Amino acid sequence: MDRYSRPSGLLQVMRDELRLRNYSPRTVKAYLSCVRSFARYIAPLLPRDAKVEHIRAYLLYLLEEKESPAGTVNQVYNALRFLYEELYQRPLVIRDLPRPKKERRLPVVLSVEEVRRLLDAPTNPKHRLMLSLLYSAGLRLGELVRLRPEDLDRDRRTIHVLQGKGAKDRRTILAPSVMERVDAYIGYARPMEYLFEGTTPGEPYSPRSVQNVFEAALLKAGIKKKASVHSLRHAFATHLLEQGTDIRYIQELLGHASLKTTEIYTHVANKVVQNIRSPIEALELAEDETEVDDTSEDS
Protein backbone atom coordinates (compact mmCIF):
# COMPACT_ATOMS: atom_id res chain seq x y z
CA MET A 1 0.00 0.00 0.00
CA ASP A 2 1.58 3.32 -1.07
CA ARG A 3 1.18 6.65 0.70
CA TYR A 4 -1.45 7.75 -1.84
CA SER A 5 -3.71 5.00 -0.52
CA ARG A 6 -3.41 5.45 3.25
CA PRO A 7 -5.66 8.34 4.37
CA SER A 8 -2.95 9.90 6.55
CA GLY A 9 -0.31 9.66 3.84
CA LEU A 10 -2.75 10.86 1.21
CA LEU A 11 -3.58 13.99 3.20
CA GLN A 12 0.11 14.82 3.59
CA VAL A 13 0.74 14.39 -0.13
CA MET A 14 -2.30 16.49 -0.95
CA ARG A 15 -1.25 19.20 1.51
CA ASP A 16 2.21 19.39 -0.06
CA GLU A 17 0.81 19.50 -3.59
CA LEU A 18 -1.68 22.26 -2.76
CA ARG A 19 1.01 24.39 -1.13
CA LEU A 20 3.36 23.89 -4.09
CA ARG A 21 0.60 25.21 -6.34
CA ASN A 22 0.26 28.29 -4.14
CA TYR A 23 -3.21 27.57 -2.78
CA SER A 24 -4.01 29.73 0.23
CA PRO A 25 -3.66 28.18 3.71
CA ARG A 26 -7.40 28.56 4.17
CA THR A 27 -8.17 26.62 0.97
CA VAL A 28 -5.63 23.94 1.88
CA LYS A 29 -7.26 23.45 5.25
CA ALA A 30 -10.74 23.31 3.72
CA TYR A 31 -9.78 20.82 0.99
CA LEU A 32 -8.05 18.50 3.46
CA SER A 33 -11.09 18.59 5.71
CA CYS A 34 -13.34 17.69 2.75
CA VAL A 35 -11.20 14.74 1.73
CA ARG A 36 -10.89 13.55 5.34
CA SER A 37 -14.67 13.54 5.73
CA PHE A 38 -15.10 11.73 2.41
CA ALA A 39 -12.59 9.07 3.47
CA ARG A 40 -14.53 8.48 6.68
CA TYR A 41 -17.79 8.19 4.74
CA ILE A 42 -16.57 5.50 2.34
CA ALA A 43 -14.47 3.55 4.89
CA PRO A 44 -13.31 0.80 4.86
CA LEU A 45 -13.05 1.52 1.14
CA LEU A 46 -9.98 3.61 0.36
CA PRO A 47 -10.33 6.89 -1.62
CA ARG A 48 -8.19 5.53 -4.42
CA ASP A 49 -10.62 2.65 -4.94
CA ALA A 50 -13.76 4.80 -4.91
CA LYS A 51 -15.96 4.79 -8.02
CA VAL A 52 -18.28 7.36 -9.52
CA GLU A 53 -21.23 5.96 -7.59
CA HIS A 54 -19.44 6.35 -4.26
CA ILE A 55 -18.65 10.02 -4.90
CA ARG A 56 -22.14 10.70 -6.24
CA ALA A 57 -23.68 9.03 -3.18
CA TYR A 58 -21.55 11.18 -0.88
CA LEU A 59 -22.58 14.43 -2.56
CA LEU A 60 -26.24 13.42 -2.43
CA TYR A 61 -25.78 12.52 1.24
CA LEU A 62 -24.47 16.04 1.91
CA LEU A 63 -27.34 17.64 -0.02
CA GLU A 64 -30.27 15.54 1.16
CA GLU A 65 -29.40 14.14 4.58
CA LYS A 66 -26.96 16.70 5.96
CA GLU A 67 -28.76 19.55 4.14
CA SER A 68 -25.41 21.21 3.54
CA PRO A 69 -25.49 24.59 1.76
CA ALA A 70 -24.64 24.67 -1.94
CA GLY A 71 -21.36 26.47 -1.29
CA THR A 72 -20.17 23.66 0.99
CA VAL A 73 -21.11 20.94 -1.50
CA ASN A 74 -19.33 22.78 -4.31
CA GLN A 75 -16.22 23.06 -2.18
CA VAL A 76 -16.31 19.31 -1.52
CA TYR A 77 -16.68 18.74 -5.26
CA ASN A 78 -13.65 20.92 -6.00
CA ALA A 79 -11.57 19.18 -3.33
CA LEU A 80 -12.43 15.73 -4.70
CA ARG A 81 -11.80 16.91 -8.25
CA PHE A 82 -8.32 18.01 -7.21
CA LEU A 83 -7.73 14.66 -5.49
CA TYR A 84 -8.74 12.51 -8.44
CA GLU A 85 -7.65 14.62 -11.37
CA GLU A 86 -4.39 16.01 -10.00
CA LEU A 87 -3.15 13.26 -7.65
CA TYR A 88 -4.74 10.10 -9.02
CA GLN A 89 -4.69 11.30 -12.64
CA ARG A 90 -8.25 10.06 -13.18
CA PRO A 91 -10.11 12.96 -14.83
CA LEU A 92 -13.19 10.88 -15.68
CA VAL A 93 -13.91 9.72 -12.15
CA ILE A 94 -16.13 12.59 -11.02
CA ARG A 95 -17.38 13.88 -14.34
CA ASP A 96 -21.11 14.61 -14.74
CA LEU A 97 -21.79 14.69 -11.03
CA PRO A 98 -24.67 16.89 -9.81
CA ARG A 99 -23.45 20.32 -8.74
CA PRO A 100 -25.98 22.55 -6.99
CA LYS A 101 -26.15 26.20 -7.90
CA LYS A 102 -24.66 28.41 -5.27
CA GLU A 103 -27.22 30.58 -3.53
CA ARG A 104 -26.94 34.21 -4.60
CA ARG A 105 -27.56 36.09 -1.38
CA LEU A 106 -27.22 39.81 -1.01
CA PRO A 107 -24.55 40.86 1.48
CA VAL A 108 -25.45 42.28 4.88
CA VAL A 109 -24.63 46.00 4.67
CA LEU A 110 -24.38 48.34 7.62
CA SER A 111 -25.60 51.90 7.21
CA VAL A 112 -23.24 54.85 7.66
CA GLU A 113 -24.75 55.51 11.09
CA GLU A 114 -24.37 51.87 12.13
CA VAL A 115 -20.72 51.88 11.05
CA ARG A 116 -20.13 55.04 13.09
CA ARG A 117 -21.61 53.42 16.20
CA LEU A 118 -19.65 50.25 15.58
CA LEU A 119 -16.30 52.03 15.22
CA ASP A 120 -16.98 54.10 18.35
CA ALA A 121 -17.85 51.03 20.43
CA PRO A 122 -14.40 49.61 21.36
CA THR A 123 -12.62 51.34 24.24
CA ASN A 124 -9.31 49.76 23.26
CA PRO A 125 -7.61 52.05 20.65
CA LYS A 126 -6.00 49.05 18.95
CA HIS A 127 -9.36 47.36 18.49
CA ARG A 128 -10.94 50.56 17.21
CA LEU A 129 -8.10 51.03 14.72
CA MET A 130 -8.44 47.48 13.37
CA LEU A 131 -12.13 47.98 12.66
CA SER A 132 -11.45 51.40 11.14
CA LEU A 133 -8.89 49.96 8.73
CA LEU A 134 -11.22 47.15 7.69
CA TYR A 135 -13.93 49.67 6.81
CA SER A 136 -11.89 52.58 5.47
CA ALA A 137 -9.83 50.45 3.07
CA GLY A 138 -12.22 47.58 2.29
CA LEU A 139 -9.79 44.98 3.61
CA ARG A 140 -10.48 41.30 4.06
CA LEU A 141 -9.82 39.85 7.51
CA GLY A 142 -6.79 37.88 6.33
CA GLU A 143 -5.37 40.98 4.66
CA LEU A 144 -5.69 43.01 7.86
CA VAL A 145 -3.79 40.58 10.08
CA ARG A 146 -0.99 40.25 7.48
CA LEU A 147 -0.45 44.01 7.16
CA ARG A 148 3.03 45.27 7.94
CA PRO A 149 3.80 48.91 8.82
CA GLU A 150 5.75 49.34 5.59
CA ASP A 151 2.66 48.39 3.56
CA LEU A 152 1.13 51.76 4.40
CA ASP A 153 2.31 54.47 1.99
CA ARG A 154 1.85 57.82 3.73
CA ASP A 155 2.87 59.95 0.76
CA ARG A 156 0.53 58.29 -1.74
CA ARG A 157 -2.15 57.66 0.89
CA THR A 158 -2.49 54.03 -0.17
CA ILE A 159 -2.20 50.59 1.37
CA HIS A 160 -0.24 47.97 -0.55
CA VAL A 161 -2.12 44.70 -0.05
CA LEU A 162 0.32 41.87 -0.71
CA GLN A 163 -0.90 38.49 -1.94
CA GLY A 164 -4.58 39.07 -1.38
CA LYS A 165 -7.25 36.64 -2.53
CA GLY A 166 -6.09 34.82 -5.65
CA ALA A 167 -2.46 35.60 -4.72
CA LYS A 168 -2.82 39.08 -6.25
CA ASP A 169 -1.31 42.35 -5.05
CA ARG A 170 -3.35 45.54 -5.14
CA ARG A 171 -3.51 49.04 -3.72
CA THR A 172 -6.40 50.50 -1.81
CA ILE A 173 -7.01 53.85 -0.14
CA LEU A 174 -5.54 54.99 3.15
CA ALA A 175 -7.62 57.70 4.80
CA PRO A 176 -5.46 60.51 6.29
CA SER A 177 -7.39 60.44 9.57
CA VAL A 178 -6.77 56.71 9.91
CA MET A 179 -3.08 57.18 9.06
CA GLU A 180 -2.73 59.62 11.94
CA ARG A 181 -4.12 57.03 14.31
CA VAL A 182 -1.84 54.35 12.83
CA ASP A 183 1.21 56.54 13.53
CA ALA A 184 0.06 57.13 17.10
CA TYR A 185 -0.53 53.39 17.56
CA ILE A 186 2.88 52.42 16.17
CA GLY A 187 4.44 54.96 18.52
CA TYR A 188 3.27 53.15 21.64
CA ALA A 189 2.76 49.56 20.40
CA ARG A 190 6.06 49.32 18.49
CA PRO A 191 5.16 46.22 16.46
CA MET A 192 8.12 44.05 15.43
CA GLU A 193 6.86 42.47 12.20
CA TYR A 194 3.13 42.89 11.66
CA LEU A 195 1.08 46.02 12.21
CA PHE A 196 -1.19 44.13 14.60
CA GLU A 197 0.46 41.46 16.70
CA GLY A 198 -0.90 39.13 19.35
CA THR A 199 0.62 38.23 22.70
CA THR A 200 3.73 36.83 20.97
CA PRO A 201 5.87 39.64 19.45
CA GLY A 202 6.46 39.15 15.74
CA GLU A 203 3.39 36.93 15.32
CA PRO A 204 0.26 38.26 13.57
CA TYR A 205 -2.94 38.95 15.46
CA SER A 206 -5.35 36.02 15.44
CA PRO A 207 -8.23 36.31 12.93
CA ARG A 208 -10.52 34.76 15.54
CA SER A 209 -9.55 37.53 17.97
CA VAL A 210 -10.49 40.17 15.39
CA GLN A 211 -13.85 38.45 14.97
CA ASN A 212 -14.31 38.58 18.76
CA VAL A 213 -13.53 42.31 18.72
CA PHE A 214 -16.11 42.85 15.98
CA GLU A 215 -18.80 40.81 17.70
CA ALA A 216 -18.28 42.67 20.98
CA ALA A 217 -18.51 46.02 19.16
CA LEU A 218 -21.65 44.89 17.32
CA LEU A 219 -23.30 43.99 20.62
CA LYS A 220 -22.25 47.21 22.34
CA ALA A 221 -23.46 49.31 19.38
CA GLY A 222 -26.86 47.66 19.62
CA ILE A 223 -26.85 46.48 16.02
CA LYS A 224 -29.21 43.55 15.44
CA LYS A 225 -28.20 42.70 11.87
CA LYS A 226 -26.48 39.36 11.27
CA ALA A 227 -23.24 41.07 10.36
CA SER A 228 -19.69 39.70 10.30
CA VAL A 229 -16.24 41.25 9.96
CA HIS A 230 -16.68 40.99 6.18
CA SER A 231 -19.72 43.28 6.46
CA LEU A 232 -17.31 46.20 6.90
CA ARG A 233 -15.84 45.44 3.47
CA HIS A 234 -19.37 45.28 2.06
CA ALA A 235 -20.15 48.64 3.70
CA PHE A 236 -16.98 50.17 2.22
CA ALA A 237 -18.03 49.22 -1.32
CA THR A 238 -21.69 50.12 -0.90
CA HIS A 239 -21.02 53.52 0.67
CA LEU A 240 -18.51 54.39 -2.07
CA LEU A 241 -21.12 53.48 -4.68
CA GLU A 242 -23.72 55.63 -2.91
CA GLN A 243 -21.26 58.54 -2.96
CA GLY A 244 -21.07 58.27 -6.74
CA THR A 245 -17.71 56.49 -7.09
CA ASP A 246 -17.35 54.70 -10.42
CA ILE A 247 -17.93 50.99 -9.93
CA ARG A 248 -14.79 50.17 -11.94
CA TYR A 249 -12.66 52.01 -9.35
CA ILE A 250 -14.43 50.11 -6.58
CA GLN A 251 -13.62 46.88 -8.40
CA GLU A 252 -9.91 47.78 -8.37
CA LEU A 253 -9.94 48.78 -4.69
CA LEU A 254 -11.61 45.51 -3.71
CA GLY A 255 -9.37 43.41 -5.93
CA HIS A 256 -12.22 41.73 -7.79
CA ALA A 257 -11.16 39.89 -10.94
CA SER A 258 -14.59 40.36 -12.51
CA LEU A 259 -16.83 43.41 -12.55
CA LYS A 260 -19.79 41.05 -12.08
CA THR A 261 -18.62 40.37 -8.53
CA THR A 262 -18.60 44.08 -7.73
CA GLU A 263 -21.98 44.67 -9.36
CA ILE A 264 -23.74 42.91 -6.48
CA TYR A 265 -23.39 46.17 -4.54
CA THR A 266 -25.70 47.91 -6.98
CA HIS A 267 -28.46 45.75 -5.50
CA VAL A 268 -27.89 47.00 -1.96
CA ALA A 269 -26.87 50.62 -2.53
CA ASN A 270 -29.58 52.62 -0.77
CA LYS A 271 -29.15 55.74 -2.90
CA VAL A 272 -29.87 53.76 -6.05
CA VAL A 273 -33.02 52.28 -4.54
CA GLN A 274 -34.19 55.62 -3.16
CA ASN A 275 -34.01 57.24 -6.59
CA ILE A 276 -36.47 54.74 -8.04
CA ARG A 277 -40.13 55.73 -7.67
CA SER A 278 -42.60 53.02 -6.81
CA PRO A 279 -45.50 52.77 -9.31
CA ILE A 280 -47.93 53.19 -6.41
CA GLU A 281 -46.88 56.86 -6.17
CA ALA A 282 -48.23 57.55 -9.64
CA LEU A 283 -51.39 55.64 -8.76
CA GLU A 284 -51.96 57.61 -5.56
CA LEU A 285 -51.19 60.89 -7.34
CA ALA A 286 -53.87 60.10 -9.93
CA GLU A 287 -56.36 59.32 -7.14
CA ASP A 288 -55.59 62.63 -5.44
CA GLU A 289 -56.16 64.54 -8.68
CA THR A 290 -59.48 62.74 -9.17
CA GLU A 291 -60.58 63.72 -5.66
CA VAL A 292 -59.68 67.36 -6.36
CA ASP A 293 -61.74 67.31 -9.57
CA ASP A 294 -64.72 65.79 -7.75
CA THR A 295 -64.53 68.46 -5.06
CA SER A 296 -64.42 71.27 -7.58
CA GLU A 297 -67.49 69.90 -9.38
CA ASP A 298 -69.46 69.73 -6.10
CA SER A 299 -68.68 73.35 -5.39
- In terms of pLDDT, which residue wins out, 212 or 105? 212
Residue 169's pLDDT band (cuts 50, 70, 90): confident
Q: Is the pLDDT assigned to residue 151 strictly greater than 50?
A: yes
Residue 275's pLDDT band (cuts 50, 70, 90): low
Catalytic residue among 127, 128, 140, 170: 140
- In terms of pLDDT, which residue wins out, 67 or 82? 82
Average the pLDDT over 199-206 and give the result.
90
* Residue 55, pLDDT score: 87
* Residue 2, pLDDT score: 47
Lowest mean pLDDT among 33-47, 48-62, 183-197: 48-62
Which domains does the chain carry? Answer: 7-87 (1.10.150.130), 112-229 (1.10.443.10)
Read off φ and ψ for residue 173, nearest 5 degrees.
-80, 150
Per the CB < 8 A criterion, the answer to whether 31 and 45 are in contact is no
* Residue 26, pLDDT score: 84
* Residue 286, pLDDT score: 63
Catalytic residue among 127, 128, 170, 256: 256
Average the pLDDT over 199-222 and give the result.
93
Q: Which amino acid is at 157?
A: R
207: left (phi over 0), alpha (psi -120 to 50) or beta: alpha
Average the pLDDT over 87-105 and give the result.
65
Percent of the chain with pLDDT over 70: 81
43 HSE (CA, 13 A, CB side) = 9
- Buried b / exposed e over 86-97, threshold 16 CB at 10 Å, is ebeeeeebbeee
| Catalytic (active site) residue 267 | no
pTM over 0.75: no
Catalytic residue among 127, 170, 233, 239: 233
Q: Is the pLDDT assigned to residue 65 strictly greater than 90?
A: no
| Catalytic (active site) residue 230 | yes
Average the pLDDT over 227-248 and give the result.
90
| Catalytic (active site) residue 256 | yes
- In the three-class reduction of DSSP (H, G, I as helix; E, B as strand; rest coil), residue 289 is classed as helix
pLDDT digits (tens, 9 = 90+) for 110-148: 999 999 999 999 999 999 999 999 999 999 999 999 999
| Catalytic (active site) residue 41 | no
Per the CB < 8 A criterion, the answer to whether 145 and 196 are in contact is yes
* Residue 38, pLDDT score: 93
Catalytic residue among 15, 90, 148, 230: 230
* Residue 291, pLDDT score: 57
| Catalytic (active site) residue 190 | no
**Mean of all residue pLDDT scores within the chain:** 83
Q: From start to end of 175-225, where are the E strands?
A: none
| Catalytic (active site) residue 260 | no
* Residue 25, pLDDT score: 84
- In terms of pLDDT, which residue wins out, 135 or 165? 135
Average the pLDDT over 3-26 and give the result.
79
* Residue 265, pLDDT score: 81
Residue 269's pLDDT band (cuts 50, 70, 90): confident
Assess whether the previous peptide bond of 44 is cis (omega < 30° from 0): yes
Catalytic residue among 81, 165, 171, 220: 165
* Residue 1, pLDDT score: 44
